[in-house]
């Protein structure tokens, strides 16, 4: 329920159809709360009034955080990358048909419904998304990115209605909003200039504005401010010698920050586009003849869709399209049925810009241009003089400004030449012809070259950059992930399996490490493969070169050229570079993929026997008929793509080095599949990483398996028997264990029958099948000797703590904890005093690094919570501060020395039982559903009245750490004891770097002391001046206390006096925060720039 007429009538139609209907108002944007641009309050009031009229309950939900992370962040990233996004499409996918669906299911709903003019139909159980009946209002275009699984959960009551009939129906029902204006544009921008809105998040970067012939026309404000085909807002006045025809934005060249404009609308036209990230809603086959829209309300355009080698789609339109814009969405239709969507842009995935046909064209252009520049600097070639710096930059700009329009121009040449490299040559010549100084030298393009000279260097550059920028980073990410898992699970014992049967134990960490090492070896081989290229003419002998310039050392010259591109020259070739290096590289990638394939299958099997569980993903379907299943699809997906990748890589490795005589063309078609092979590799690597991220180790199942397989101890037992000379040890153990499952009792009986020395027999008897450690509560009376023994070894002997300081009267009344291993040995201890202090944490030296300290600390904290403590504290040895931080403790006060050892006081505030404020409105309960109408919200905390330095500092750190978007600080001198603390600076720094749109504003009264002594927040403001602003106040504003901090719209910290460190903090008090925000805003308006800080460039 948006408050508009469409959703209102949709609710009425559902009621008429017999559905039980409840409304939901979603708030997706809170950056402009309280401004004239935010209509949320009025929208909510309208929605509530409609629900009251229809007699249905209204729920409210705030998805602003999800909208920022999943829609707006992408929106900003696209604009920074000079694309033109469509946030409405993403909003439907990420919010309305994802968060809304999840929320509705939480409330017990069976369906969701919206006011979209679209239709969802079923034909023999097959779902189809169709256009709305009202062609002028059809909104299926905006639903193109929503997965079919989500669309199936939605009803579209308005799909069969005309808009005018909906308004008439609203009037008949007496709905107050029947004449309300339809919302248009992007929801979070509202009624303001788009350029002004964008400035809040992306800085303008002015640059030259040139026409298609590179003549300067004016200056633009920033490339991100323009979209292709844009006419308004270019601010081009009368240009001398040009007509009064309108100007259009025709292209962006980020390398030179140049905007290309034109008065010729045909320059904007193109017949091809590339689409990626396709969300198919119907089964299709290629080539696909269909219709498409590249913008909302465009008439359907006939086209044919082809698959590209790198997994994208190439779309050829029957008629040229105006202003095909990177970042927008193209939707495909068969009649009124939506087939799917693709987001078209110049760079869909990291590989697309490198290994696609577009990438190959760009590399060919680069080789032609750089060879031209290289020749101009050769002293023996007088006919081509050295280029001026300006002309050389012009040539380089052809490379760096290469875009989709340039690629289309090459395709247009190719339509005539029927030769791809010749088309590149003609394109480069055409570009040079636009510079009068270079026109006499255009025929030096492609001088002495055969097509294979251009091609092999282009492919070498492509492969080198794909390896370095995409493949190796992903391969190393796999290695590093497995290395991390190896360390994390180094101590988890696991049953091995050889031939599918139980075998001697290993550890889970070691098995991960096995794979990581194998992979790393192949990564190193991949990195060490030398990328070769040749540039020696038609058959490798410089025949043409020598006929023109016999005095030149062409062998040395070509080698220098190849090496200038970062490649290694191969002088011994025929017409083609023999591709041996490619074979070596592809064999290495194949072997890496085989290791990963082996790992994927092992993980699949371990999941099958429940050694791992997989995290459930909301909305995901495991099986169309068995709803309980969570399939290991990521590992299966990876396996399938590895198979395809290796099929291509192996074929290319075997085929490419083979060529008849000095050259045949059979390698040309094969080379074009490099991108496909690399793409399947990349998809596989990402799928495995995704699968690993969803895994959870089921240590109980692993340990259960291990502890029920005592028969595998036959191997160490027979080895000990050999040591002591017993006859036929293998045969005896084989007879006792083969094919049998042995438990602990049978094992120990077996050991007792062996004729071994008593010491050896006892050693074998204490063997165990698990490394289990647990913590028990102990009393001083019963376990005094054990506790004293552990503390004696750790504190008195190892750390040389005086005995008189170690033992005190607190032990008799404390709660004690002992860590016990699987052998029944006591290996660590801790205690909890009546005051809430945790101490005497000790783990025997030989047992450290195995998580025993964590177990002891967790046991002590759990006991403290159960005892009702509001606060636990401890004195940590300074080196152990990070350990206790991980356990939830924060430092307070100054460092001190205890028993000759440096310590820091740390504490943990335990949560109080939840007590809602008396004025909290009662929740509505949905009729019949038994569910509350309101979703879970952030806990409401009581105000925290603090007293003393440590409490004051901890409260300040918590409030700052709670901020997500905005932090306000008003403090006279940014007191060093509180604000100049490492953890405070870290929290402020983390906030500043957490999101593109973060505001941190600080008001002070005097900066002289801070500048003289130095201050962490001043240094932070100097480095992050775009996020942190510090200004000076001349007088204390009315109504302020000594200092306060506000985090977003919820949390505050208020300190009336620095002398007593007494004040109040609250993590959820919007009323007080609003008042403090108003006070801060008034003070900010009266503040000024600080001259002391200006000297520091703050």
Task: Please tell us whether the domain made up of 944-1095 is placed in CATH 3.20.10.10.
Answer: no
Hey, what CATH topology would domain 5-173 get? Answer: Rossmann fold (3.40.50)
Supply the pLDDT for residue 439.
Answer: 93
Of residues 820 and 352, more confidently modeled: 820
Instruction: Output the CATH code of domain 266-348.
Output: 2.40.30.10
Q: Which residues are catalytic?
A: 499, 623
- Can you say whether the dihedral through the CA atoms of 923, 926, 930, 933 is positive or negative? negative
The CA distance from 857 to 906, in Å, is 13
> For residue 42, what pLDDT band results from cuts at 50, 70 and 90?
confident
Calculate what percentage of the chain has a pLDDT beyond 70. 89
Instruction: Output the CATH code of domain 459-700.
Output: 1.20.200.10
Instruction: Output the CATH code of domain 354-447.
Output: 1.10.275.10
Supply the pLDDT for residue 267.
Answer: 83
Supply the pLDDT for residue 462.
Answer: 93
Instruction: Report residue 687: phi and psi, to 5°.
Output: -65, -45
Supply the pLDDT for residue 345.
Answer: 34
**Superfamily per CATH, domain 773-909:** Gcn5-related N-acetyltransferase (GNAT) (3.40.630.30)
Q: Does residue 349 have a pLDDT over 70? A: no
Of residues 89 and 352, more confidently modeled: 89
187, 26 contact by CB (below 8 A): no
Of residues 112 and 866, more confidently modeled: 112
Q: Does residue 913 have a pLDDT over 50? A: no
Supply the pLDDT for residue 949.
Answer: 80
pLDDT digits (tens, 9 = 90+) for 817-848: 998 875 567 899 999 999 999 999 999 987 77
Mean pLDDT value of segment 860-879: 88
Mean pLDDT value of segment 735-739: 75
Tracing tokens 């992408």 back to the chain, one arrives at 74
Give me the DSSP letters along 504-571: EEEEHHHHHHHHHHHHHHHHHHHHHPPPEE----SSSS-HHHHHH-TTS-HHHHHHHHHHHTT-EE--
Q: Does residue 341 have a pLDDT over 70? A: no
Q: Does residue 788 have a pLDDT over 60? A: yes
E-assigned strand segments in 213-365: 216-220, 248-253, 258-262, 269-280, 288-293, 301-307, 313-322, 329-334, 337-343
How far are the Cα atoms of 24, 107, 459 from residue 66, in angstroms, in the given order?
Answer: 16, 19, 42
Supply the pLDDT for residue 622.
Answer: 43
Q: Does residue 929 have a pLDDT over 50? A: no
Question: How far is Cα of residue 2 from the mean position of the Cα atoms in its chain?
Answer: 31
Residues 6+ positions from 1071 with CB-CB distance below 8 Å:
none
Supply the pLDDT for residue 340.
Answer: 67
Average pLDDT over the chain, rounded to whole? 82
Task: Report whether the peptide linkage leading into residue 210 is cis, meaning its omega lies within 30 degrees of zero.
Answer: no
474, 685 contact by CB (below 8 A): yes
Q: Which of 1081, 1062, 1055 is nearest to 972 (CA)?
A: 1055
> For residue 149, what pLDDT band results from cuts at 50, 70 and 90?
confident
Supply the pLDDT for residue 195.
Answer: 67
pLDDT digits (tens, 9 = 90+) for 994-1038: 776 788 999 988 777 777 777 888 888 877 777 888 888 866 554
Residues 6+ positions from 124 with CB-CB distance below 8 Å:
none
Q: Does residue 618 have a pLDDT over 70? A: no
Of residues 513 and 888, more confidently modeled: 513
Q: Does residue 923 have a pLDDT over 60? A: no
Of residues 620 and 688, more confidently modeled: 688
pLDDT digits (tens, 9 = 90+) for 215-230: 888 889 888 888 888 8
Q: Is the fold of 5-173 the same as that of 708-765? A: no
Calculate what percentage of the chain has a pLDDT beyond 90. 28
Q: Which of 540, 647, 634, 667 is nearest to 589 (CA)?
A: 647
The CA distance from 766 to 749, in Å, is 12
pLDDT digits (tens, 9 = 90+) for 643-693: 988 999 999 999 888 888 877 777 777 888 888 888 889 889 988 998 998
The CA distance from 399 to 370, in Å, is 9
> For residue 938, what pLDDT band results from cuts at 50, 70 and 90?
very low
Instruction: Report residue 952: phi and psi, to 5°.
Output: -60, -45
Of residues 670 and 590, more confidently modeled: 590
The CA distance from 287 to 879, in Å, is 65
Task: Please tell us whether the domain made up of 708-765 is placed in CATH 1.10.40.30.
Answer: yes
Q: Which CATH architecture has domain 203-263?
A: Roll (2.30)
The lowest-confidence range among 13-27, 114-128, 837-851, 1023-1037 is 1023-1037
Q: Does residue 611 have a pLDDT over 50? A: yes
pLDDT digits (tens, 9 = 90+) for 286-317: 788 899 998 888 899 999 888 775 567 888 88
820, 775 contact by CB (below 8 A): yes
Supply the pLDDT for residue 939.
Answer: 34
The CA distance from 792 to 634, in Å, is 52
Tracing tokens 């001026």 back to the chain, one arrives at 388
Q: Does residue 770 have a pLDDT over 60? A: no
Domain ranges of the chain: 5-173, 203-263, 266-348, 354-447, 459-700, 708-765, 773-909, 944-1095
For 239-274, b where at least 16 C-beta lie within 10 A, e where not — what string?
Answer: beeeeeeebbbbbbbeeeebbbbbbeeebbbbbbbb
Q: Would you state the structure tokens that stand for residue 414, as one six-digit string? A: 């190719």
> For residue 969, what pLDDT band results from cuts at 50, 70 and 90?
very high
């Amino acid at each position: 329920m948006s408050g508009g007429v469409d959703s209102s009538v949709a609710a009425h139609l559902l009621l008429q159809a017999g559905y039980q209907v409840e409304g939901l108002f979603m708030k997706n944007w809170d950056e402009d709360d309280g401004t004239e641009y935010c209509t949320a309050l009025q929208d909510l009031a309208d929605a509530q009034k409609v629900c009251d009229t229809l007699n249905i309950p209204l729920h409210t939900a705030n998805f602003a955080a999800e909208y920022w992370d999943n829609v707006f962040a992408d929106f900003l990233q696209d604009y920074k990358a000079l694309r033109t996004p469509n946030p409405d499409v993403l909003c439907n996918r990420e919010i309305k048909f994802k968060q809304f669906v999840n929320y509705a299911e939480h409330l017990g709903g069976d369906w969701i419904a919206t006011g979209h003019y679209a239709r969802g139909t079923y034909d023999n159980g097959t779902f189809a998304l169709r256009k709305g009946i009202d062609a002028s209002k059809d909104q299926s275009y905006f639903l193109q990115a929503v997965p079919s699984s989500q669309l199936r959960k939605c009803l579209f009551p308005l799909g069969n209605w005309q808009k005018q009939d909906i308004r008439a129906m609203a009037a008949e029902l007496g709905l107050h909003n029947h004449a309300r204006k339809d919302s248009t544009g992007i929801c979070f921008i509202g009624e303001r200039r788009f350029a002004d809105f964008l400035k809040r998040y992306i800085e303008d970067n002015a640059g030259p504005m040139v026409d298609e012939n590179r003549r300067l026309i004016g200056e633009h404000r920033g490339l991100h401010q323009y979209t292709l085909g844009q006419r308004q807002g270019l601010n081009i006045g009368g240009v001398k010698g040009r007509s009064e025809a309108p100007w259009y934005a025709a292209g962006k060249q980020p390398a030179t920050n140049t905007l290309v404009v034109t008065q010729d609308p045909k320059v904007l036209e193109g017949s091809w586009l590339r689409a990626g990230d396709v969300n198919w809603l119907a089964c299709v086959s290629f080539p696909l003849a269909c219709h498409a829209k590249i913008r909302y309300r465009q008439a359907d355009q006939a086209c044919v869709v082809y698959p590209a080698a790198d997994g994208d789609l190439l779309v050829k339109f029957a008629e040229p399209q105006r202003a095909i814009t990177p970042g927008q969405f193209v939707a495909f239709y068969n009649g009124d049925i939506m087939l799917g969507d693709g987001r078209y842009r110049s760079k869909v995935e990291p590989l697309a810009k490198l290994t696609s046909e577009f990438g190959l064209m760009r590399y060919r252009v680069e080789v032609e241009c750089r060879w031209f520049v290289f020749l101009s600097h050769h002293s023996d070639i007088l006919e081509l003089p050295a280029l001026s710096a300006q002309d050389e930059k012009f040539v380089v700009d052809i490379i760096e400004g290469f875009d989709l329009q340039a690629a289309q121009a090459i395709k247009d040449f190719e339509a005539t030449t029927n030769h791809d490299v010749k088309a590149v040559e003609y394109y480069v010549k055409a570009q040079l012809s636009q510079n009068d100084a270079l026109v006499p030298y255009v025929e030096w393009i492609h001088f002495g070259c055969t097509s294979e000279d251009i091609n092999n260097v282009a492919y070498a550059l492509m492969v080198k950059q794909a390896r370095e920028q995409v493949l190796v980073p992903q391969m190393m990410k796999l290695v590093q992930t497995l290395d991390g898992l190896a360390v994390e699970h180094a101590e988890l014992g696991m049953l091995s399996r050889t031939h599918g049967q139980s075998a001697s134990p290993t550890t889970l960490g070691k098995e991960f490490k096995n794979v990581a090492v194998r992979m790393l070896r192949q990564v190193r081989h991949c990195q060490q493969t030398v990328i070769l290229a040749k540039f020696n003419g038609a058959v490798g002998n410089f025949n043409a070169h020598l006929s023109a310039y016999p005095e030149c050392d062409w062998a040395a010259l070509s080698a220098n050229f190849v090496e200038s591109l970062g490649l290694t020259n191969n002088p011994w070739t025929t017409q083609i570079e023999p591709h041996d290096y490619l074979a070596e590289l592809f064999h290495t990638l194949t072997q890496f993929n085989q290791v990963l394939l082996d790992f994927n299958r092992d993980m699949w099997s371990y999941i099958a026997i429940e050694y791992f569980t997989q995290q459930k993903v909301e909305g995901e379907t495991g099986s169309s008929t068995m709803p309980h299943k969570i399939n290991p699809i990521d590992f299966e997906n990876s396996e399938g793509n590895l198979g395809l990748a290796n099929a291509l890589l192996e074929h290319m490795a075997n085929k490419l080095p083979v060529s008849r005589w000095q050259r045949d063309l059979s390698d040309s078609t094969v080379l074009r599949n490099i991108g496909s092979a690399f793409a399947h590799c990349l998809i596989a690597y990402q799928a495995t990483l995704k699968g690993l991220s969803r895994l959870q180790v089921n240590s109980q199942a692993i340990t259960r398996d291990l502890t029920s397989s005592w028969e595998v101890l036959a191997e160490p037992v027979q080895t000990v028997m050999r040591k002591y000379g017993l006859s036929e040890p293998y045969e005896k153990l084989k007879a006792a264990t083969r094919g049998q499952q042995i438990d602990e009792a049978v094992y120990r009986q077996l050991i007792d029958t062996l004729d071994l020395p008593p010491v050896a027999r006892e050693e074998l008897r204490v063997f165990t099948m698990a490394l289990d450690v647990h913590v028990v509560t102990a009393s001083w009376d019963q376990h005094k000797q054990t506790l004293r023994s552990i503390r004696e070894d750790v504190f008195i002997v190892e750390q040389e703590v005086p005995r008189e300081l170690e033992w005190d009267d607190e032990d008799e009344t404390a709660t004690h904890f002992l860590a016990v291993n699987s052998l029944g040995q006591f290996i660590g201890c801790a205690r909890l005093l009546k005051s809430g202090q945790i101490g005497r944490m000790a783990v025997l030296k030989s047992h450290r690094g195995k998580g025993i300290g964590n177990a002891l600390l967790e046991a002590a904290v759990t006991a403290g919570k159960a005892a009702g403590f509001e606060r636990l504290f401890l004195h940590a040895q300074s080196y152990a501060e990070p350990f206790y931080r991980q356990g939830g403790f924060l430092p307070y006060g100054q460092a001190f020395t205890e028993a000759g050892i440096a310590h820091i006081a740390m504490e943990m505030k335990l949560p109080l039982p939840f007590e809602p404020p008396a004025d909290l409105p009662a929740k509505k309960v949905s009729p019949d559903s038994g569910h509350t109408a309101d979703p879970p919200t952030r806990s409401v905390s009581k105000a925290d009245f603090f007293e003393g330095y440590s409490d004051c500092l901890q409260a300040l750190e918590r409030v700052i750490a709670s901020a997500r978007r905005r932090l306000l600080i008003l403090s006279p001198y940014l007191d060093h004891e509180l604000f100049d603390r490492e953890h405070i600076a870290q929290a402020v720094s983390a906030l500043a770097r957490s999101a593109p749109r973060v505001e941190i504003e600080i008001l002070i009264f005097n900066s002289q002391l801070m500048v003289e002594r130095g201050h962490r927040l001043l240094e932070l403001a100097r480095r992050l001046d775009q996020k942190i602003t510090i200004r000076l106040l001349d007088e204390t504003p009315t109504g302020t206390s000594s200092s306060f901090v506000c985090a977003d719209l919820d949390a505050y910290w208020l300190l009336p006096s620095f002398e007593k460190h007494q004040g109040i903090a609250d993590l959820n008090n919007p009323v007080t925060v609003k008042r403090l925000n108003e006070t801060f805003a008034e003070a900010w308006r009266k503040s000024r720039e600080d001259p002391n800080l200006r000297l520091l460039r703050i």
